[in-house]
Amino acid sequence: MSKQAILVTGGCGFIGSNFVRYLLADGQFDGIVVNLDALTYAGNPANLADFAEDSRYVMVEGSIGDEDGVSRLLDGYSISAVVNFAAESHVDRSIDSPEPFFDTNVTGTLRLLQAVRKYWKELSAEEASAFRFLHVSTDEVYGSLLPEDPAFSEENPHRPNSPYSASKAASDHIVRAYHHTYGLPVVTTNCSNNYGPFQFPEKLIPLMILNALEGKDLPIYGDGMNIRDWLYVEDHCSAIYEVLQRGRVGETYNIGGKCERPNIEIVDQICSFLDEEDPREDGSTYKDLKKFVTDRPGHDRRYAIDATKIETELGWTPAETFETGIRKTILWYLENREWCEDIASQKYQRQRIGTKV
């Protein structure tokens, strides 16, 4: 993948920005990374501000739904791969307002694929063969598991239970159709719950960390026994890069952290770590802030990923345990209070770095 140009969509979001950082900081990729992001509420250009002057990085404000704009980027930078992170991704927001999720995740993905297909058809035979479109998706498309059920494999049918997961399931199907109908060289990844630096604080782990530090309630849905498989974001990025380089065209790869935990255990572990690293002034434990709240409508009980396929085919396994990953994550939030304050004040939404498509 060296000496090439990758188009990363949604590269100012949580996972997207970590992937851009992985490419540019890792040293194994010495091409150009073009970041196309609509800079909606979860897109924070400050996540990549330290690369703003890097000649290998190009920031462009724009939407995946803008076919003409995407086409200009593909042609202008001779893009050799597209990694599609761009998505609305918060279940609670999708329950309150489903339409934006279908606008971006379904219609936006369709228009992105249209632009990519037109571009790909004009490439030389060698370039077309090497080109890849990698679609980043979620384990939520598979639905919910009972405690005794085996983990999701790539053979599980899509059974989404929220507007968010339904929109992502639809996008998975569109990507698959563009390969089988038009021959577009695609690969899809379905990941478990990510956590790590730069995560927008509407998600469980950063929300608990920041609420705890501010002395606010730690809201826990239902009985707190909803189980997720937790994946450290840098492990996810390394897996995506392996799939981009060596994954089989037309295939789907599940990416998991081998780390099933109920939500209540996650909250307790965060509280215990903060009690040691940043104890409360009054001497009480952060666990005193826990508050059980009415469960989310249609809340899936359990997700779990069977990552056998990527492990056996590509030799990938997660480097972090939950214990090492959550420690890195909490320390990052403790050391980056200014980033957190900018999120809380929405200062980041007034920042614009780069050009418009």
Catalytic residues: 139-140, 164
CA-CA-CA-CA torsion sign (151, 306, 157, 227): positive
DSSP-assigned beta bridge partners for residue 195: 232
Helix (H) or strand (E) holding 338: helix 337-345
Cβ–Cβ under 8 Å, residues 67 and 75: no
Closest CA to 23 of 237, 256, 236: 237
Count Cβ atoms below 10 Å from residue 231 Cβ, excluding itself: 28
Q: Which of 65, 191, 76, 74 is nearest to 135 (CA)?
A: 191
Look at strands 227-232 and 193-195 and give their pairing: parallel
Q: Which amino acid is at 120?
A: W
Question: Which two three-digit tokens encode residue 306?
Answer: 């069977």
State in Å, rounded, how far the first CA of the chain is from the last one.
25
- Is residue 196 within 8 Å of residue 269, measured between CB atoms? no
Sequential DSSP letters for 105-132? IIIIHHHHHHHHHHHHHTS-HHHHHH-E
